[in-house]
Homo-oligomer: A and B are copies of this chain.
Amino acid sequence: MPRLGMTLDAIRAIVGGGEIVGSPDFVCESVASLGRAGPDQLSFVKDQRYIDSARSSRAGALLVPVEIGDFRGNQLIVAEPYRSFGVLLSKIAEEQRRQPKEVHPRAEVHESAEIGTDVCIGSGAVVREDARIGDRCVVHANAYVGQRSILGADTTLYPGVVVLEDVSVGDRVLIHGGTVIGSDGYGFMQHEGRHLKIPQVGRVVIGCDVEIGALTTIDRATLDETVIGRGTKIGDLCHIGHNCRIGEDVLILPTVAISGSVTVGDRVVFAGRSGCADNLTIGEGAVLGGTAVAFKDVPAAASMWGNPARDKTLEMRIQAALRRLPEMQRDLRAVKKKVDL
């Protein structure tokens, strides 16, 4: 159980105020979801839709947007319960993942690397020549930072992450386990019937406040930079090809694949397992639905579904019609017979 161990009063202080219904001294031992919380646990009511479920909850205490009349436990009324709950979760996460502020004796840090203050570098981690690790970074066990690569302040590389040479990572970036940044893009030319490698000598530049899931690959540019814009959030097992320029605040859900040299505007959403072919432009604020794959440029603010991706409304009508296709085939045969065709 994610341990909390705080009184409702202390919680009120942390989330910045709110009105308590019940006992301010009630101790919330841990947190749980609304359906599973027990009498010593805290949960939350996201919005109006959950108020009925809250009434029958066994939770000892709830963060709520309005007082819930029939609920027997304690309540803390706040403007945005989900966000306030998130603040508490940050405290819990921080406690669960507390790292010693030290370079582990079994970390391998090159003497030419610049290491900031209050940094944690774990056992087996490797920091190569001329790399720079910003203040308060955590480079977990067996992670790797290549030659001349830079991590901004407060950035975390989880275990086994590989950041190859000449990669620049901003501040407050999270890169989850096993992800590989800066691998060679897939670039070959044909020559006398063989595939010749085009060496990939460009960089990867990752903005501040980016999060990248586990086991994701972001390839280095051939010559210039592969760019991930500020605030963009990428899931597990995604692939971002070489030379891509991904905008700011983009959402790229797990198992998305974006081929090489794609330009993605700000606030685009790639839903689960969606993707796009190479050399395309995906306009600002466009949304690709789950498993949609674009083979043409996508205009700004468009909603695209299907593979090949089409305007969502058209695709929904096609899918609805498809269910009746065998029947249409039969009808057409009957009509042809009737009109002697």
Docked-complex contact A159 and B141, CB < 8 angstroms: no
Nearest-Cβ distance from residue A182 to partner chain B, whole angstroms? 8
Nearest-Cβ distance from residue A81 to partner chain B, whole angstroms? 11
Docked-complex contact B335 and A326, CB < 8 angstroms: no
Docked-complex contact B147 and A144, CB < 8 angstroms: no
Docked-complex contact B331 and A323, CB < 8 angstroms: no
A171 within 8 A of B: no
In the complex, what distance in Å separates the CA atom of A21 from the CA atom of B217? 42
CB<8 Å pairs between A and B, sample of 16: A33-B222, A82-B189, A83-B191, A83-B196, A86-B189, A92-B199, A97-B147, A176-B183, A186-B235, A214-B217, A215-B216, A215-B237, A239-B254, A241-B254, A277-B290, A324-B329
Give 14 A-B pairs besides A33-B223, A82-B189, A97-B165 with Cβ atoms closer than 8 angstroms. Answer: A32-B223, A33-B222, A86-B199, A96-B147, A96-B201, A108-B123, A141-B144, A178-B178, A213-B217, A214-B219, A290-B295, A314-B326, A321-B328, A325-B325
A residues with a Cβ closer than 8 A to B are: 2, 31-33, 36, 43, 82-83, 86, 89-90, 92-93, 96-97, 104, 106, 108, 122-124, 126, 140-142, 144, 147, 158-160, 162, 164-166, 174, 176-178, 180, 183-184, 186, 188-189, 191, 193-202, 211, 213-217, 219, 222-224, 231, 233, 235-237, 239, 241, 249, 251, 253-255, 257, 259, 272-273, 275, 277-278, 290-291, 293, 295, 307-308, 310, 314, 317-326, 328-329, 331-332, 334-336, 338-339, 341
